[in-house]
Amino acid sequence: MSQLSTRHLLGIKDVTETDIRLILETAANFKEVINRPIKKVPSLRDITIANIFFENSTRTRLSFELAEKRLSADVVNFSSANSSVKKGETLVDTVNNILAMKVDMVVMRHASPGAPHFLSRNISANIVNAGDGTHEHPTQALLDAFSMTEKLGDLAGKKIAIIGDILHSRVALSNIFCLQKLGAEVMVCGPITLLPKYISSLGVKVELDVMKALEWCDVANVLRIQLERQQIKYFPSLREYSLYYGINKKMLQSLNKEIVVMHPGPINRGVELSSDAADSEHSIILNQVENGVAVRMAVLYLLAGVKG
């Protein structure tokens, strides 16, 4: 099969293992393309893609825009801060006005969980979810899986620990779904106040001691504390969080094995990861950024081949 089973990428929960493996295989081909002297291919020439971001973004937005341009797509960027949304225009009206200009695909980030799903029922264009609130961030999970596969090979049976603010993280949920579909074992680790009550129902291990999680895992995917989403205090201070859950190079060197350290960014250095850990030989954080472009090229290319 060389076509996805869905015409949107709304979340990892909605895609099959076959879809995930197809995206990762296609991404490997595109990674070879973006490392050539001439990094552009005409795969999406005459396709117009709108990047519609209702939340701040640096890495994800730049990564999508670069992926689109590498595929020769025409790109339209939309920011809600300078738009008619400020005048009271609805989400559907905003997007329909953009689609009236003959846009073929929408990449959307929104603060409300489920916003891309709602939009997919109301418009005809393909939709890629670039993050919806605390719900899902599918392309981040795919690029994380691609980066792990590059380092470790097949992920079946591998042990992945997701450490940090699980409660407010869209990356955590997408990673859990993706890794489980690829056969990996998943553990979450963090303060009990930052673990969702339902988390064990997803079939993951739960650990409150960060050293035990590091000793168990092959890969530590470290998440930042999402202070902008926290309405109440979940722990006394960042300093205390860092003392109990911060990871440094000394901790990594004390393990009786080599593990891989990942982070979706942005890193709060000195909080969840010390600089010596983030920049160590254990870290593949910059590989993740590079792989993000290849994976998003694969997603856009494959979705463009799926007609409604």
Q: What are the phi and psi torsion angles at 29 (to 5°)?
A: -65, -40
Contact present, 282 and 258 (Cβ < 8 Å): yes
Q: Residue 109, annotated ligand binder? A: yes
Q: Residue 60, annotated ligand binder? A: yes
Q: Residue 296, annotated ligand binder? A: no
User: Strand, helix or coil at 129?
Assistant: strand
Contact present, 247 and 222 (Cβ < 8 Å): yes
Q: Residue 266, annotated ligand binder? A: yes
What is the C-alpha to C-alpha distance for residues 21 and 9, in angstroms, rounded to an integer? Answer: 14
Burial class (CB in 10 A: 0-12, 13-18, 19+), 130: buried
Q: What are the phi and psi torsion angles at 34 (to 5°)?
A: -75, -5
Q: Residue 170, annotated ligand binder? A: yes
What are the Cα distances from residue 33, in Å, to 27, 61, 99, 180, 243?
Answer: 10, 20, 30, 29, 43
User: Which pair of tokens denotes residue 169?
Assistant: 């993280």
Contact present, 31 and 291 (Cβ < 8 Å): yes
Q: Residue 140, annotated ligand binder? A: yes
Residues within the annotated binding site? 59-60, 87, 109, 137, 140, 170, 224, 265-266
Q: Which residues are annotated as a binding site for carbamoyl phosphate?
A: 59-60, 109, 137, 140, 265-266
Q: Which residues participate in the annotated binding site for L-aspartate?
A: 87, 170, 224
